[in-house]
Structure 1
Amino acid sequence: MFIVFALTGAVYDIRERRIPNWLNAAMLVTGLVLVTALTGWQDGLSALGHFAAALVGAMVIFALKLWGGGDAKFYAASAGWFPIKAALGLFVSVAAAGLIVAIVWLLFYKLTGRKLKRGDKVMPYGVAIAAGGIIMMLFRPDGGLLT
């Protein structure tokens, strides 16, 4: 389910440069319900705490105008699928994916001859959030929360 939500968010961000609130809400609620149902209320509370911490951090990044509000909510909703102990891993996975997406995006502009304009939102960072989350879900050292 996480991968479906993540890919849907990435596609929305590529096509429309926005990630809908309904998708973020559905992703968060589904993640918290599944984590709690499959692994217990302690892990559910841990995932809720991770969501809350990620939302605060993501809103700081939004306030600095480094990404959009939809990206901030998408990151926080993704965090709701992982316990708080996975916070650093998710952050690093998303940042690494962001670097790769940025390089690909810049190469695309370079190869197509398009011009990047200062201040334009040119890179769909939801793609990096989705990729980083999928990497965490599939390759976590502890085998993933929902396995």
Structure 2
Amino acid sequence: MPYLWLLWLLLATVYDARQRRIPNWLVLVGAAIALSALAMNAQPFGIRWPDALTGSALGFGFLLLFYAAGVMGAGDVKFAGALGLWVGATPLLPIWIFASLLAGMHAVLWLALQRLAWFPRLTLMLSGRPLATDDPGVRKHTRPIPFAAYLAVAAAVWMVWGRQS
């Protein structure tokens, strides 16, 4: 099961980094696998139903505040809810903190590159806008920071190093 979880995190990271969105099917797959693992008593992190449901509610509920403020997309919120099913409530705070640090570094680098204009392709990549902006069929992204991708990276780091103690 940890390999399915890591595969789900990888898919979310790549999808959010490239598209700046998390599709519902990806959130539902992650949640379904987490619920199946709980039902089969094969949860890779040893959490039980109450902690998983609490983690899901906290993950969803906390980030819902940021969505309501207009600074986060709905996919990030749903992804955090599914992530909470996997890890439970306790590791969510360190995962959020690390993901927020990564997102903050992304924002600082993006702002610096916008001002310096030394690396225009890197600036476009960090902004989430497509490199070929002349194509009218390509949607322009309004949120430059792929927070779900950073949540996924932080969760993978937690799995490898955070659980050692």
Common fold by TM > 0.5: yes
Identity among equivalent positions (%) equals 22
Out of 6, 23, 46, the position equivalent to 2:26 is: 23
1:112 aligns with 2:116: no
Higher helix share: 1
**Distance in 2 (alpha carbons) for counterparts of 1:137 and 1:106:** 31
Normalised TM-score (structure 2): 0.71
1:79 has 2:84 as partner: yes
| Aligned 1:1-147 pairs, distance under 5 A | 1-36=4-39, 37-38=41-42, 43-106=48-111, 109=114, 110-113=117-120, 114=123, 120-141=142-163
- Size of the aligned set, in residue pairs, is 142
Q: Distance in 2 between matches of 1:141 and 1:10?
A: 21
Q: 1:104 to 1:86 in 2, by over 3 A?
A: same
Give the alignment's TM-score, normalised by structure 1: 0.79
Alignment RMSD (CA, Å): 2.9
Q: What residue identity is the alignment partner of 1:83? A: G
1:43-86 CA distance string (max 9 Å, x none): 23211111011111111111111211111111221121112222
Which of structures 1 and 2 has the bigger CA Rg?
Answer: 2
Q: Which amino acid in the other structure matches residue 101 of structure 1? A: H
- The residue identity in structure 2 corresponding to 1:13 is D
Unaligned segments of structure 2, at least 5 residues: 128-140
Contact 1:101 1:128 in 2 (8 A): no
**Aligned amino acid, residue 58 of structure 1:** L
Q: In 2, Cα distance between the equivalents of 1:30 and 1:104?
A: 35
Bigger Cα displacement from structure 2, 33-42 vs 48-57: 33-42
* C-alpha contact (below 8 Å) 2:54/2:84 kept by paired residues: no
